[in-house]
Copies of this chain bind each other. A is one copy, B any other.
Amino acid sequence: MELNERKLRILQAIISDFIHSAEPVGSRTISRKYDMGVSPATIRNEMSDLEQMGFLTHPHTSAGRVPSAKAYRLYVDDLMERHELTDEAKQTIRQQLDTNIMEFDKAIEQATRILSEITNLISFAIAPTSEEERLKYVNILPANEDTVVMMIMAESGNLSNAMIKLRVPYTEEKLALLSKVITYNFRGKKLDDILRTDIIRSFETDIEALNRLAEFVMPSFLSTLEDILNVELYFDGLTNIFSIPEYNDMERAREMLSMVNRKKDFADILLQRDSGTIITIGDENDFESMHDCSLITATYRINGKLAGKLGVIGPTRMRYSEITSVIDYMTDYLNQAFQISDTEDT
């Protein structure tokens, strides 16, 4: 059977109606609202064809039609019009994502927040995977009498701190010296590799007092490196679930949130996805538990290299067009903002 012009128009009408109403769409609704120029009966015939072709389903005999994953796929690939963000929308995003005063992890967190606010879905972001991450320098500074703070800077600009409680006295000079020694030893090495070396052996200085300090500092150094390497996962808009009709059922809402709560698993799902803006709809998702969700992710880059992901998860019925536009705009913006050789002039 052929997917002719009229069938496409009807399908499109059904999809956009359903996306907004969340109610199965009947033939009369279409003929009334979308001015097809044919009677409901004709539309019914077409709908019946579309159903046979796998684009529509029936919750039950006497209900209207609901788009299938296949229909959304067609819609996303061919039918939907590209949504252009208004200038105000763009400006709001830029303002709230003011990257001049943010480290990128804060910016990502903020992006997640904005995204859930705009889309009314659950949004998430995963920080860049940093297997290639290399150490830039370490800096140890005094905090209190018996506490120091260690800053670890990675080449990408990824930054992490640790407070370390020392059991030995220190002076600022010694800290500075120790920082230099550690930096000298490990600069330019992959964090991953540093973690794998037998650090206690590889690290040796002839200065006794420094070694004593290092004894306290090294464990924190390692665990902080681990922290940096751990993929950080951000979520926002979890309570939006209450305004999504698909999750009016307590059981489904719980299921959704518990899926999102198994952060390790969810991070794996994200890490496995290809780069670029990817939409997976319903059973296109590899995981059983996501068979009636859609997932949209896009990749952002820090300095053109490290890549993280930003996206939303929700019911298959979602406003794909607007949402992808927002996500794309945000990732574009982040890419620019965290480009190392950003030489634009303002």
Contact = CB atoms under 8 A, between A and B. Distances in A.
A23 B8 CA distance: 55
Q: Is the interface of A mostly helix, strand, loop or mixed?
A: mixed
Contact of A238 (B139, B238, B346): B238
Task: Output the residue of A223, A224, A248, A345 with the most chain B CB within 10 A.
Answer: A223
Interface string A126-153: 0000000000110101011111010101
Contacts of A254: 239, 242
A141 B149 contact: no
Nearest to A163: B103
Contacts of A223: 101
Interface string A215-229: 000011001100000
Given A101-B164, A102-B163, A219-B101, A157 B153 contact: no
A257 interface: yes
A144 B103 CA distance: 12
B340 A145 contact: yes
Tally of this chain's copies: 2
A13 interface: no
Task: Output the residue of A144, A224, A242, A340 with the most chain B CB within 10 A.
Answer: A144
Interface in A230-247: 238-239, 242
B143 A153 contact: yes
A342 interface: yes
B101 A341 contact: no
A147 B337 CA distance: 11
A242 B219 contact: no
A305 B149 CA distance: 20
Contacts of A139: 139, 141
Nearest to A247: B250
Interface size bracket, A side: 35 or more
Contact of A165 (B100, B141, B147, B248): B100
A79 interface: no
A303 B145 CA distance: 11
A104 interface: yes
A219 B101 CA distance: 8
Contacts of A345: 167
A157 B144 contact: yes
A327 to B, nearest CB: 23
Contact of A163 (B145, B157, B242, B341): B157
Interface of A: 99-104, 136-137, 139, 141, 143-147, 149, 151, 153, 157, 159, 161-165, 167, 219-220, 223-224, 238-239, 242, 248, 250, 253-254, 257-258, 261, 303, 340-342, 345-346
13 contacts: A100-B219, A101-B164, A103-B162, A137-B141, A141-B151, A141-B153, A144-B157, A146-B341, A149-B151, A149-B153, A151-B151, A159-B161, A239-B254
